[in-house]
């Protein structure tokens, strides 16, 4: 599907560049987003997709909530169902107090990641662009559009935004002293020499915890990027495996990528929510146990 659209439209539009035939044959989806236009500039193909997706979501939300009715229908009904389902789902995991503070971020991240993942499967995304005809037909090397989450800059930016919010929420919930004790303070009710030993051990363990926390944005960004990037490359490979069946072979993998896009959006949202819960509810539970 995507390859058929890309081949025909690219040929009609004449989007070709002075590339060697061998490079065009072997090239898949580039590891990095490609700047639009002459090949250098601020706007990249993945950035263009994120803007399109963000604008579409904003317009849909505005249209769905423009005339609110007590008995919703149509777009309002779907939007309310989506938001309420996410709210109830997160409330059962992180609790009502924390979800009241953080729901705006987790719901927005889930909806945006899911929309970007599924938009990347639209015919033409990744298959219309600059390339050259080879032995197996026209091969796009620099696509005009690229899935937003197939760009490590995008997933890294979302992870860093979460990390900044996580620090703010952690200090709001625990304060500076509570945050330090959560990382380096001894656990348990030991006394005497054993407690001194635990203080030393947990202080050392705290440095490992700090390293783990600092590594979270990296793992979050690479996990999402790797899965989406691999999926799009797999569709590209299936489309060129048998040129005569390039329109048919990727079809089963489309359904799998729809599921992968949903799962990866859920994983990103759940991991960020659980990380937040572990730091924000720790001291609260500790104090309740000693009250």
Average pLDDT over residues 104-120: 96
Does 225 have pLDDT greater than 60? yes
How confident is the model over 13-24, as pLDDT tens digits?
A: 333 333 343 443
Is the pLDDT reported for residue 282 higher than 70? no
Q: Is the pLDDT of residue 148 over 60?
A: yes
Confidence of residue 287 (pLDDT cuts 50, 70, 90): very low
pLDDT score at 25: 43
Q: What average pLDDT does range 250-254 have in this prediction? A: 87
State the pLDDT confidence band at 250, using cuts at 50, 70 and 90: confident
User: With the C-alpha atoms ordered 166, 168, 161, 273, is the resulting torsion angle positive or negative?
Assistant: positive
Q: Which of 4-8, 37-41, 147-151, 164-168 has the lowest mean pLDDT?
A: 4-8
Confidence class of residue 236 from pLDDT cuts 50, 70 and 90? confident
Structure confidence at residue 10 (pLDDT): 36
The reported pLDDT for the residue numbered 205 is 84
Element (H, E) at 285: helix 282-290
Domain ranges, residue 143:
2-68+75-290
Q: What is the mean pLDDT of residues 168-196?
A: 82
Query: What value does the mean pLDDT take over residues 65-89?
Result: 92
The total number of structural domains in the chain stands at 1
Q: Which of 1-10, 27-36, 39-48 has the lowest mean pLDDT?
A: 1-10
Contact 147, 116 (CB under 8 A): yes
Give yes or no for a contact between 157 and 109, defined as CB atoms under 8 angstroms apart: no
Average of per-residue pLDDT across 104-133: 90
Give mean pLDDT, residues 166-182: 91
pLDDT at 26 over 50: no
Provide CB contacts within 8 A for 144, sequence distance 6+: 15, 36, 45, 128, 129, 130
Task: Identify the residue whose tokens are 């500039």.
Answer: 41
**Among 141-150, 212-221, 246-255, which range has the highest average pLDDT?**
212-221
pLDDT at 123 (0 to 100): 84
- 199-222 residue pLDDT tens: 788 888 888 888 999 999 999 999
More confident residue, 29 or 42: 42
Identity of the highest mean pLDDT range in 20-34, 86-100, 168-182: 86-100
Q: What is the mean pLDDT of the chain?
A: 82
Instruction: Supply the pTM of this predicted model.
Output: 0.82
Least confident of 12-26, 99-113, 131-145, 240-254: 12-26
């Amino acid at each position: 599907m995507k390859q058929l659209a890309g081949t025909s439209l690219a040929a009609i539009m004449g989007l070709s560049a002075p590339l060697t035939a061998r490079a065009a044959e072997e090239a898949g989806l580039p590891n990095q987003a490609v700047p639009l236009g002459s090949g250098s500039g601020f706007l990249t193909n993945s950035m263009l997709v994120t803007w399109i997706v963000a604008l579409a979501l904003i317009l849909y939300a505005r249209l769905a909530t423009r005339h609110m009715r007590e008995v919703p229908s149509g777009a309002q009904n779907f939007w309310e169902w989506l938001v309420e389902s996410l709210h109830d789902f997160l409330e059962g995991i992180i609790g009502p107090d924390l979800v009241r503070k953080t729901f705006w971020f987790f719901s927005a991240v889930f909806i945006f990641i899911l929309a970007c993942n599924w938009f990347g499967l639209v015919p033409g995304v990744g298959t219309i662009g600059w390339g050259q005809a080879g032995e197996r037909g026209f091969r796009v090397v620099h696509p005009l559009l690229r899935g937003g989450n197939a760009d490590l800059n995008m997933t890294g930016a979302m992870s860093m935004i979460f990390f900044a919010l996580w620090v703010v929420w952690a200090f709001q919930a625990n304060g500076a002293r509570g945050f330090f004790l959560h990382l380096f303070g001894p656990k348990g009710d030991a006394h005497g020499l054993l407690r001194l030993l635990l203080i030393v051990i947990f202080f050392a363990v705290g440095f490992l915890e700090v390293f783990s926390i600092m590594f979270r944005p990296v793992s979050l960004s690479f996990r999402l990027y790797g899965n989406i990037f691999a999926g799009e490359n797999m569709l590209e490979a299936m489309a060129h495996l048998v040129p005569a069946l390039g329109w048919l072979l990727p079809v089963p993998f489309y359904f799998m990528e729809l599921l992968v896009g949903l799962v990866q959006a859920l994983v990103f949202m759940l991991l960020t929510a659980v990380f937040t819960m572990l730091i924000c509810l720790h001291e609260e539970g500790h104090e309740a146990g000693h009250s």
